[in-house]
């Protein structure tokens, strides 16, 4: 049983095969013991209580309860009935008699609360070390900080102790720990998930976030939990779209090279460049964006209004128990005492000015891609300089909630030194499905194992590529690519875009001679081949036959091996068609050939 993977698809498959919830509970405790990290959890549910909650679910039914028997953890600033809420301050402890709204919704869907996780005290920090409990150990490298403030939630997820965990995110607390622990961190549109029953940090910016091993799991949890809540004055209705195939061509804003900040971390810079190259291969068009105003917006977060808001959240407790607080937390929040109402309004006015200035910039692209964190820090380095290191970690996170953007941190590779590389995809409020769909493709393309578990990514087909819906996949390489002259023929046949990827490195691409409409020809070769950029579309089975019948020679349909090891039918050229053709394989694809070639 200990080898059962805890991503939701694998876990539900195990339940269908007869694995019992009692076995899963035993595995959870075995993994906690194996981790040997007393800093992850502040409170654990009793085994008997977990088993009783599972028994109350009734027989396995993933339709009625989409999270049936799925274990999860809750950051200890979010209420769970019958468990203490501490916000990582023992003197603050209270015992709620009801669940936070988001916890109640997840329980109703069949999920089981395993325990409450450690955090930077009062959710103030991005480092994960500002706690009177032991500091959770980074799941990838114990010398590094785990990231915060949702430190325990991220580490528990990365170690496969639970399937997912709830965090909170005001300035990056749901993204930084995900990036530093090689997992997914979904930061939804502010207000999409209720914060009723959550100890506030900055009520106007706070949101509940989701840590998971895969994008599918994070988005499934988001889909269950998202709902408008009358108990939360900042709640709003956000339409949760199914995680569908992303558009074939997307413009992605990236920080201009001159504005990128890595603080001397060359490995992180190289990792980000590799991540952008992967996005390009997935069919995204990268657009460099000046980032100075985004950084200036981020700097507002620890000035005026929002420091005062943190103070307002715990003022009564702090005035009576200041010496009980972590020294760094006390210093940061205590700084609000010297601020005036005028300082707060000055910050609000500055934010509104940046929002107005940046609105057309944000609207100029479909989404953004930034490093999740600019660098990794050791715990020793953060303890030696707790404020500056924390500030640097927030370089690409602090502005997001201020500008009302949604986002998702996703593993994108491994740096040259073996540490995780993560990027965050961002978009305007309400576009949670778009960033998740791109993140899903990016995670799949990375080929990374899940968290620190060593588990391979589930063998789920990419979004929109179901083989059970009567459709057939078709690989296109040239004039039928999205935006190309013959793409309309595909759409007229009822085809839908599935994904952009590359062939296995065993093909050559040629520009065919004598064609009225310029066309390429793809040929499989024994040696000396390369990977060629392609798109995968899907057609209804009957339309596929009609479409193939209309293909003119020398083109034909054959099996094409893709770089993820799968195969699909696609366009190939007969050998006779190569007479007079030019080898353009070095361009890596037809789209790049057309854009890069020098006119004769």
Sign of the torsion formed by the C-alpha atoms of 566, 571, 576 and 577: negative
Buried b (16+ CB within 10 A) or exposed e, 416-433: eeebbbbbbbbbbbbbbb
Q: Are strands 71-75 and 164-169 parallel, antiparallel or unpaired?
A: parallel
Distance between CA atoms of residues 590 and 532, nearest Å: 8
Kindly report the three-state secondary structure assignment for every residue of 240-255: CCCCCCCCCCEEEEEE
Query: Rounded to the nearest 5°, which phi and psi values hold at 589?
Result: 170, 160
Q: Which is catalytic among the residues 10, 65, 116, 149? A: 149
CB of 430 closer than 8 Å to CB of 189: yes
Question: Which stretch of DSSP H or E encloses residue 287?
Answer: strand 284-289
CB of 287 closer than 8 Å to CB of 253: yes
SS3 of residue 373 by DSSP: coil
Tell me the CA end-to-end span of the chain in Å, nearest whole number: 65
Nearest to 126 by CA among 427, 327, 373: 373
Among left, alpha and beta (phi > 0; psi -120 to 50; other), residue 263 is left
Distance between CA atoms of residues 579 and 575, nearest Å: 8
Q: Which is catalytic among the residues 10, 65, 75, 446? A: 75
DSSP letter, residue 562: B
SS3 of residue 170 by DSSP: coil
Sign of the torsion formed by the C-alpha atoms of 207, 69, 422 and 483: negative
Q: Which is catalytic among the residues 150, 173, 235, 275? A: 173
Residues whose CB falls within 8 Å of the CB of residue 36, separated by 6 or more in sequence, listed in order = none
- 236: tokens are 């709003």
Distances, alpha carbon 264 to alpha carbons 5, 268, 336, 377, 424, in Å:
37, 9, 32, 12, 20
Distance between CA atoms of residues 345 and 30, nearest Å: 52
Residues whose CB falls within 8 Å of the CB of residue 128, separated by 6 or more in sequence, listed in order = 118, 119, 120, 135, 136, 145, 146, 147, 148, 149, 151, 177
Distances, alpha carbon 319 to alpha carbons 124, 212, 315, 377, 495, in Å:
17, 37, 6, 33, 64
Catalytic annotation on 75?
yes
- 395: tokens are 């370089």
- 33: tokens are 């013991």
Nearest to 254 by CA among 225, 278, 221, 276: 276
Catalytic annotation on 173?
yes
The catalytic residues are: 75, 149, 173
């Amino acid at each position: 049983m200990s080898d059962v993977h805890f991503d939701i698809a694998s876990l539900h498959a195990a339940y269908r095969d007869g694995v019992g919830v009692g076995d899963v509970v035993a595995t959870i405790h075995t993994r906690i013991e194996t981790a040997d990290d007393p800093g992850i959890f502040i409170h654990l549910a009793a085994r008997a209580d977990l088993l009783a909650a599972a028994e109350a679910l009734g027989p396995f039914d993933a339709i009625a309860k989409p999270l049936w028997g799925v274990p999860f953890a809750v950051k200890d600033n979010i209420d769970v009935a019958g468990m203490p809420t501490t916000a990582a301050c023992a003197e603050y402890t209270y015992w709620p008699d009801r669940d936070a709204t988001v916890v109640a919704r997840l329980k109703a869907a069949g999920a089981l609360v395993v325990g409450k996780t450690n955090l930077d005290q009062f959710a103030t920090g991005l480092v994960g070390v500002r706690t009177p409990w032991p500091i959770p150990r980074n799941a990838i490298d114990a010398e590094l900080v785990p990231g915060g403030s949702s430190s325990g939630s991220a580490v528990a997820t990365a170690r496969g102790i639970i399937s997912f965990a709830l965090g909170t995110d005001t300035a990056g607390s749901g993204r930084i720990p995900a990036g530093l622990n090689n997992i997914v961190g979904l930061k939804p549109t502010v207000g999409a998930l209720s914060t009723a029953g959550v100890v506030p940090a900055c009520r106007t910016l706070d949101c509940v976030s989701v840590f998971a091993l895969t994008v599918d799991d994070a988005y499934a949890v988001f889909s269950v939990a998202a709902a408008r809540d009358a108990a939360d004055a900042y709640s709003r209705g956000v339409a949760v779209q199914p995680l569908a195939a992303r558009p074939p061509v997307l413009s992605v804003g990236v920080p201009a090279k001159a504005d990128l900040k890595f603080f001397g971390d060359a490995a992180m810079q190289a990792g980000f460049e590799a991540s952008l190259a992967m996005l390009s291969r997935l069919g995204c068009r990268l657009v460099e964006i000046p980032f100075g105003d985004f950084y200036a917006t981020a700097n507002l977060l620890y000035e005026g209004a929002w420091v005062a808001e943190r103070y307002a959240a715990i003022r009564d407790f702090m005035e009576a128990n200041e010496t009980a607080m972590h020294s760094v937390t006390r210093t940061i929040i205590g700084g609000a005492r010297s601020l005036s109402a005028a300082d707060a309004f000055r910050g609000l006015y500055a934010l509104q000015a940046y929002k107005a200035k940046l609105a057309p910039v944000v609207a100029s692209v479909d989404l953004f891609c930034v490093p999740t964190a600019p660098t990794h820090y050791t715990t020793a380095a953060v303890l030696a300089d707790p404020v500056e290191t924390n500030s640097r970690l927030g370089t690409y996170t602090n502005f997001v909630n201020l500008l009302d953007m949604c986002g998702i941190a996703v593993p994108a590779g491994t740096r040259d030194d073996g540490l995780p590389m993560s990027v965050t995809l961002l978009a305007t409020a309400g576009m949670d499905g778009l960033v998740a769909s791109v993140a899903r493709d990016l995670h799949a393309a990375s080929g990374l194992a899940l968290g620190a578990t060593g588990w391979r990514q589930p063998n789920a087909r990419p979004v929109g590529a179901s083989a059970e819906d009567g459709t057939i996949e078709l690989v296109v390489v040239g004039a039928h690519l999205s935006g190309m002259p013959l793409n309309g023929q595909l759409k007229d046949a009822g085809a839908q875009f599935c994904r952009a990827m590359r062939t296995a490195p065993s093909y050559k691409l040629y520009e065919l001679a004598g064609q009225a409409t310029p066309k390429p020809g793809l040929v499989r070769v024994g040696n000396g081949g390369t990977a060629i950029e392609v798109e995968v579309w899907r057609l209804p089975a009957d339309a596929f036959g009609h479409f193939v019948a209309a293909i003119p020679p020398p083109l034909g349909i054959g099996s094409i091996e893709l770089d993820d090891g799968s195969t699909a039918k696609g366009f190939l050229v007969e050998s006779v068609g190569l007479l007079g053709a030019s080898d353009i394989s070095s361009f890596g694809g037809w789209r790049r050939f057309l854009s890069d070639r020098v006119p004769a």
